[in-house]
């Protein structure tokens, strides 16, 4: 199989500049030491906003709702309803278990939510109105006791109305005005006003990413994500104009966004590139999209769809569109992606904004080992075990022998003390267990010594 690169781009990597790492460390230390005062000082410094009250009150939430038109509220409500329906179905198909693995030995798992989750809702070039649904709704459905949200202020110190309405309707228990690394620090360490959480989730810029990296270990995080990506597989049935439109839809996010087309048909590939250049001047976001495509766009011609699937798995993209005659035929061969969009009528924008699946997804090959945010993001898989005396007697010789091999003497004694029958002693002798002081293997009376 062959690959012909009609347009190539360098490899992307999540590289955090040293000055960002040092700046974020200072921010984290400031918030940890100074609490609310630190958050306010950093908000003045980075956002040029002086706001005394960090928590958004009910009057602000009501005002945000009133600032929107009915159509705007309905649109946000529709996205939240679809995201809720999908994640409720996802949650309904998760379950723990408990089973008697052998006589007297019962093992199981429970799915237990974290107690408090903190979500970050980014500002940036455009307010991400769908983002709150993607991070807050799954946490609520998972059963998290308390979900808090942080978002950066506008110039007047308030939150963008559509974002605030979406945060409230998605189910956040409290909303705070704090942006960037200082928001992550506040949710990590806690301040007088903003509580510390068990897990921090949500996308953000390089400062937010680095803050999450530094916070990890003190709190859990979802993952570290870089600029957005789209990888389109197209055959001869794909409409080049639609392919171009869908490439640009991701390219407009950020100059570092990555958009790739892998085609089995040269005419489609070349026509898509021509259409992309034709469509660029009509975009309000032309400057960003043009830079993104020039620096990071990629077009590859392959012999067949099998090779396209192989290349997609190597890329492990955030968004994978399959614009082919029979997209489901490739599904079993595709293993590494954040979310896959099947067919000519399933663009990434639907998953990003309205259909109900989650748009907070892994980038930069993280899809090789992780999926995106979902209800399990906020769940812990906890194990439990219960043994009868009979069950303990059957397991103890094996455990004691492992301890002997490791040299963990107290562990060995703990296991041996559960050997209480002649059968248990016989197994211990069969394993050539050297008693650690917890049992007399020569005593076959059946009584513990």
Give the residue carrying structure tokens 């806690």.
Answer: 190
- Examine the domain organization and report whether 175 and 296 are in the same domain: no
Q: What is the pTM of this model?
A: 0.91
Q: Which residue has the tokens 């993104």?
A: 292
Q: How far apart are CA 332 and CA 54, in angstroms?
A: 48
Residue 107 domain-assigned?
yes
pLDDT value, residue 126: 66
Are 141 and 285 members of one domain?
no
Q: What is the pLDDT of residue 187?
A: 98
Active site residues per annotation: 318-319
- Both 268 and 186 in one domain: the answer is no
Among 371, 394, 426, the domain boundary falls at: 371
DSSP state string for 29-44: HHHHHHTHHHHHHHHH
Matching residue, tokens 């089973």: 99
Contact between 296 and 256 (Cβ < 8 Å): yes
Do both 176 and 211 map to the same domain? Answer: yes
Residue 449: the pLDDT is 42
> Which of 371, 391, 407 corresponds to the end of one domain?
371
- Domain ends where: 188, 221, 254? 221
Instruction: Indicate whether 215 and 230 sit together in one domain.
Output: no
Residues 280, 134: one domain?
A: no
11 is a domain residue: no
| CB-based contact 258:9 (threshold 8 Å) | yes
Q: What is the C-alpha to C-alpha distance for residues 202 and 217, in angstroms, rounded to an integer? A: 17
Length in residues, the chain: 449
Q: Please check whether residue 389 lies inside any domain of the structure.
A: no
CATH code of the domain in which 184 resides: 3.40.50.1980
Cα–Cα distance, 259 to 369 (Å, whole number): 21
CA 48 to each of CA 30, 44, 269, 424: distance values in angstroms, whole numbers, following the listed order: 18, 4, 47, 72
Tokens of 316: 């492990």
Domain assignment present for residue 430? The answer is no
Encode pLDDT of 387-403 as tens digits. Answer: 999 999 999 999 999 99
Q: What is the pLDDT of residue 125?
A: 58
Taking only the tens place, the pLDDT of each residue in 404-413 is 999 999 999 9
Q: What is the CA radius of gyration of the chain?
A: 27
Residues of the chain scoring pLDDT < 50: 448-449
pLDDT tens figures, 413-425: 999 999 999 999 9
Averaged confidence pLDDT in the chain: 94
Count CA within 13 A, CB hemisphere, residue 273: 20
Q: Are residues 213 and 261 in the same domain?
A: no
CA gap 3, 255 in Å, rounded: 26
Please indicate, yes or no, if residue 398 is contained in any of the structural domains. no
Same domain, 129 and 256: no
Q: Which residues of 418-443 are buried (b: 16+ CB within 10 A; e: fewer)?
A: bbbbeebbebbeeeebebbebbebee
pLDDT value of residue 193: 98
DSSP 363: -
Q: Which domain holds residue 293?
A: 226-371
What 3-state class would DSSP assign to 423? Answer: helix
Taking alpha carbons only, the member of 314, 287, 240, 353 closest to residue 11 is 314
Asked if residue 397 is part of any domain, the answer here is no
Instruction: Match 């043009």 to its residue by tokens.
Output: 290
């Amino acid at each position: 199989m062959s690959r012909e690169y009609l347009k190539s781009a360098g490899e992307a990597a999540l590289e955090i500049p040293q000055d960002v790492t040092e700046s974020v460390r200072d921010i984290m230390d400031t918030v940890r030491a100074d609490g609310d005062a630190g958050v306010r000082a950093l908000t003045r410094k980075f956002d040029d906003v002086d706001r005394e009250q960090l928590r958004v009150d009910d009057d602000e939430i009501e005002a945000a709702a009133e600032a929107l038109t009915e159509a705007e509220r309905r649109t946000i409500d529709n996205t939240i309803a679809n995201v809720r329906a999908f994640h409720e179905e996802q949650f309904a198909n998760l379950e723990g278990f408990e089973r008697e693995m052998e006589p007297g030995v019962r093992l199981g798992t429970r799915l237990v939510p974290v107690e408090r989750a903190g979500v970050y809702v980014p500002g940036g070039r455009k307010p991400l109105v769908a983002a709150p649904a993607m991070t807050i709704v799954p946490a609520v459905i998972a059963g998290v006791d308390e979900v808090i949200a942080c978002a950066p202020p506008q110039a007047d110190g308030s939150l963008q109305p559509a974002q605030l309405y979406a945060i409230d309707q998605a189910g956040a228990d409290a909303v705070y005005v704090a942006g960037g690394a200082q928001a992550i620090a506040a949710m990590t360490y806690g301040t007088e006003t903003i509580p510390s959480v068990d897990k921090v989730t949500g996308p953000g810029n390089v400062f937010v990413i680095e803050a999450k990296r530094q916070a990890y270990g003190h709190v859990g995080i979802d993952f570290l994500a870089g600029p957005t990506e789209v990888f389109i597989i197209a055959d001869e049935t794909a409409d080049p104009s639609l392919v171009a439109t869908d490439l640009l839809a991701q390219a407009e996010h950020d100059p570092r966004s990555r958009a790739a087309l892998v085609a089995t048909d040269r005419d489609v590939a070349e026509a898509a590139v021509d259409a992309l250049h034709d469509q660029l001047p009509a975009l309000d976001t032309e400057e960003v999209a043009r830079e993104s495509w020039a620096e990071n766009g990629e077009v590859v011609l392959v012999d067949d769809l099998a090779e396209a699937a192989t290349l997609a798995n190597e890329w492990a993209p955030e968004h994978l569109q399959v614009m082919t005659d029979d997209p489901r035929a490739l599904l079993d061969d595709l293993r590494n992606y954040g979310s896959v969009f099947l067919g000519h009528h399933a663009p990434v924008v639907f998953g990003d904004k309205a259909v109900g699946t989650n748009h907070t997804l892994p980038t930069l090959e993280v899809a090789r080992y992780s999926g995106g945010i979902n209800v399990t993001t906020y769940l812990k898989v906890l194990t439990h075990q219960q043994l009868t005396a009979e069950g303990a007697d059957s397991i103890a010789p094996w455990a004691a022998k492992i301890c002997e091999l490791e040299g963990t003497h107290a562990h060995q004694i703990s296991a041996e003390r559960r050997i209480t029958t002649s059968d248990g002693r016989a197994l211990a002798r069969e394993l050539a267990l050297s008693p650690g002081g917890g049992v007399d293997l020569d005593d076959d009376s059946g009584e513990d010594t």
